[in-house]
Structure 1
């Protein structure tokens, strides 16, 4: 449970850091690329054994890590575009409701329990995420542009599902740091290539403020994945329960901190969503 708590806290911190990037006018893309380099470095330094890149390359999980690295930065960009074109609320709902994909995967592939309370808790969680994410002035109809939210929904779900599948079948108990680091290193390589292209075409200019911001973001980002994978590895825990508790708690905590720290308004729907999120956690953990 302690790993799950740390995963929730670190993942929520990412949203706060992104909010601060916007407030202080720091280039988000450049901070993200620095973040991936830092996250990869933290992962490699956290590995207990001697790092052998040939062994990493020949690992059963290597191809999966490369694909996940590409997905990480691709889906983040889709999230940014969705937020710009469709509104923040739709981007948030599309990404957080994707929790249903790894939950269904865990129930049907790993034969995890699917009793009445768990199913009820999952349904309540989806409603809670939707209500907690809606922002009064940004609420737009999903039909305005269904393509980007759909890609974001399935992309986020595929990432979480793939993390669980690869971790369960190919990653050793002490291999999480090197596995996570490899994912971030692949994302960093893709991001660096994108930056070089944008710099060469003068689409953007270097923003040196993004370096310290990216360092902080990278450390937090690494541990958000590390703690989630450790929580999934815990004996007796079911991925459907872990993903539900993790995603709903992040939405709930982010909404509260947004109100307290950044004075973001909470509508009646937002408050109802937070209350339902608490209820869903009770239902899922009682199953």
Structure 2
């Protein structure tokens, strides 16, 4: 349970850092790419064994991390497009509701425990995620033309969590968790560097020191959010469907309260209803273990 708590805290710290980006006019793309580099280096430092690139490339999880790295940075860009075309709330809902994919995967593929209490808790959690994520009554209407972007964010985010669960279950040894995480971020960083290189060629790249600093600050908690999530998934007393539900809802809860405390965010009635349901869902899912 301690790893799950640490994953929630690390993910909440990411939320706070992202909120500060807009205040300091940070270039999100540049900061994200630096963040991937720092996250990858963090994993390499945490890895206690000698790093052998040839040996790593022969691991069963290697090609999976390559694909995940591409999906990581692709989903980020899709989230940016979704925010621009549909609004922040739609992007938030698409990202958070994607938890249904790894939950269903765990129940069907791994035959994880189900029951009235657990299923009720999961359904309440999904409703809570929706209500808490909608932060305003306005926004850009969703049309058939731009519906594809939140749908891709939903699928991409779900694939990331599901793939991490699959790879860590079947291919990642206990001592390899740091280098496994580092490799995912490393491939995401490579794709990001290629994007920056293309921007440099086209003359649209202007790197600023504050963007690099922002990326460094973001990179460490980003690494640990994945590291601790993987550790939590290895905890024998909890199914992955339980871990993903509690993790997702707890992050939403703590992030919401952090927004109120540090950024004076105002919540609507439906947000407060969502918070109450979120707390109820965590209690139900936890006691269903």
Normalised to the residue count of structure 2, the TM-score between the two structures is: 0.97
State the alpha-carbon separation in 2 of the partners of residues 281 and 138 from structure 1: 29
State the alpha-carbon separation in 2 of the partners of residues 30 and 279 from structure 1: 39
Task: Tell me by how many angstroms 1:200 deviates.
Answer: 1.9
Task: Tell me by how many angstroms 1:203 deviates.
Answer: 2.4
DSSP 3-state at the match of 1:49: coil
Task: Tell me by how many angstroms 1:93 deviates.
Answer: 0.3
Q: What is aligned with 1:110?
A: 110
Task: Tell me by how many angstroms 1:250 deviates.
Answer: 0.8
Task: Tell me by how many angstroms 1:68 deviates.
Answer: 0.3
1:48 counterpart = 2:41: no
State the alpha-carbon separation in 2 of the partners of residues 142 and 238 from structure 1: 35
Q: What is aligned with 1:63?
A: 63
Q: What is aligned with 1:159?
A: 160
State the alpha-carbon separation in 1 of the partners of residues 143 and 105 from structure 2: 27
Q: Which runs of 5+ in 2 are unaligned?
A: none
Contact 1:89 1:138 in 2 (8 A): no
Alignment of 1:20-39 (within 5 A): 20-39=20-39
Q: What is aligned with 2:169?
A: 168
Task: Tell me by how many angstroms 1:256 deviates.
Answer: 1.1
Alignment of 1:107-256 (within 5 A): 107-143=107-143, 145-256=146-257
Q: What is aligned with 2:281?
A: 280
Task: Tell me by how many angstroms 1:234 deviates.
Answer: 1.3
State the alpha-carbon separation in 2 of the partners of residues 199 and 133 from structure 1: 36
Report the number of matched residues: 287
Contact 1:88 1:138 in 2 (8 A): no
State the alpha-carbon separation in 2 of the partners of residues 96 and 139 from structure 1: 18
Contact 1:66 1:183 in 2 (8 A): yes
Contact 1:8 1:224 in 2 (8 A): yes
Normalised to the residue count of structure 1, the TM-score between the two structures is: 0.98
